[in-house]
Amino acid sequence: MELKNRIWMTGSLDWYAYIGEDEVFLGRREVPYPLAEGDRWTNEFGDVFQVVDGEIRLLERVAPPERHW
């Protein structure tokens, strides 16, 4: 599958993408790799993403997931 978004990972393993004109933080370990059609995840800030028609989309913002140490 070829993504329509431009994505990259920083040296600290953070994933980013351009969604429209905006540079968006996708997450860290919660981002599925390799990305496939229908993949859905929530980053640590509560942003919900899904791959639809080969494009990463920001669907909604929810309460951030609870972190357990």
Residues 26-45 have a mean pLDDT of 94
Q: Report cis status (omega within 30 of 0) of the bond before 34.
A: yes
| pLDDT above 90 (res 59) | yes
Instruction: Identify which of 53, 54, 28, 22 has the alpha carbon closest to the alpha carbon of residue 41.
Output: 28
**Domain span including residue 39:** 7-61
- In angstroms, the CA 68 to CA 57 distance is 27
Domain tally, the chain: 1
What is residue 68's predicted lDDT score, i.e. its pLDDT? 82
Q: Is residue 20 part of a domain?
A: yes
Residue 38: pLDDT band (50, 70, 90) is very high
Q: Is residue 69 part of a domain?
A: no
| pLDDT above 90 (res 43) | yes
Residues 20-31: tens digit of each pLDDT: 999 999 999 999
Percent of the chain with pLDDT over 90: 86
30-33's contacts with Cβ under 8 Å and 24+ in sequence apart are none
- In angstroms, the CA 50 to CA 66 distance is 20
Q: Is residue 68 part of a domain?
A: no
pTM of the shown model: 0.90
